[in-house]
Amino acid sequence: MAATLSLDCRKTFPRGLTVSVQLELPLDPPLVLILFGPSGSGKTTVLRCLAGLEQPEEGTIRFGQDLWVDAARRQVVPPQARHLGYMPQDYALFPTHTVTGNIEYGLSDLPQAERRRRVSEALALLQLQGLEQSKPRQLSGGQQQRVALARAIARQPQLLLLDEPLSALDAPTRGALCSELRALLTRLKIPTVVVTHDWTEALTLGDRIAVMSEGKILQVGVPQEVFSRPANESVAQIVGVETVVQGQVSDSAHGLATVQVNGIAMKALAVDAIGPSVYVCIRAEDVVLEQAGSGMTSARNHLAGRVDAIDPRGVMVQVKIDCGFPLTAVITRGAVEELRLAPGAPVIAAIKAGSVHLVSRSVV
């Protein structure tokens, strides 16, 4: 049997939330699993159970051959013995230790030469040279985040746990560091679980995604699949982005990028430091449908296609269109009648360039 991380446990909080999850993650090849959901959905609890900082009342947690938790037999492997790299949301850097001291903290059982080697390796990998003797409070948010990562990976853990790794940063830093983090995780080849509520992070970092709500896992799968084919209404609402397709950036000028999706050229707002390989993400609310042959609009993208399916969703109607790639739009019932939409009918989908989001998938 191939090694897996398997989780089947339940934890109830006095305030009422019951977290109950079943999850399997293959460990070979190492994957990045995203725990995705709104705040209060229990994703941090799952991460803390994996770290050994929270004990489930029921169930088991198994990492490969090791049984980490067996609640029935009251067996729990303490966090010290799980050989983890854990990065909490606020980094929890030790204020009394320097950058080097923080990174070295988990290496005390190694000989000094090896310890030095690991520290300088981690410093180099996260570009922290020159900050060795700084205290955490002298560092910027981005630097603190990198020190926390360096500390977590210096032990060469068998499992990396990252809780909202980018949420404490301001927006411009976040975008750049997200791609860096992706490159780092690809290079490290350590099984990783990342908690996030940001869909761009989920798409950039994840190989698998588990969508959580109210303590339960609603869907597990490859991020692109889960985003474009949510299993049910709740998942669709949580992820909020209905169209995710692969594309190649072919040109970027005057702040506008041209992306090729299945041979169709689309305009999107250019994003700095993004590789050629991207996910093109479009929210259904941002797609405007027009009758074929109507006039000009300000939207930069006019995609001709045919209606695939029409699904009523409350007051709104979800229209799936095939325009060279599957595209989802949400419009009102009135609009469906006025445009005389029916499966097979020709239609034009208009999307502003600003509503076409590009998410990096390039491996640096």
Partner 1 sequence: MNWIAIGVTVKLAALTSLVLLGIGVGIAYWLSFSRWRWKFLVESIVALPLVLPPTVLGFYILVAIGPHSPVGRFYADLVGHALPFTFEGLLFASILYSLPFAVQPFAAAFDQVDRRLIEASWTLGASKLQTFFKLILPLSLTGVITGVVLSFAHTLGEFGVVLMVGGNIEGETRTVSIDIYDEVQVLNYAGAAKTAFFLLVVSYLVLLCVYAMNRKVWAVWPQR
Residues making contact with partner 1 (CB under 8 A): 51-53, 78-80, 82-86, 88, 90, 92, 94-96, 105-106, 108-109, 151, 155
Sheet holding 264-269, edge to edge: 264-269, 256-261, 243-253, 277-282, 357-360
Provide, rounded to whole angstroms, the least separation between the CB of residue 93 and partner 1. 8
Q: How far is CA 119 from CA 139, 142, 149, 155, in A?
A: 18, 19, 12, 9
Provide, rounded to whole angstroms, the least separation between the CB of residue 168 and partner 1. 13
Q: Closest Cα to residue 275, out of 351, 346, 358? A: 358
Provide, rounded to whole angstroms, the least separation between the CB of residue 238 and partner 1. 27
Nearer to partner 1, 51 or 177 (CB): 51
3-class state of residue 104 by DSSP: helix
Token pair for 122: 């981690």
Nearer to partner 1, 50 or 349 (CB): 50
164 and 195 Cβ atoms separated by less than 8 Å: yes
Provide, rounded to whole angstroms, the least separation between the CB of residue 20 and partner 1. 23
Nearer to partner 1, 140 or 291 (CB): 140
Contacts of 330 (CB under 8 A, 6+ apart): 242, 284, 285, 287, 313, 316, 317, 318, 319
Nearer to partner 1, 48 or 267 (CB): 48
Nearer to partner 1, 193 or 236 (CB): 193
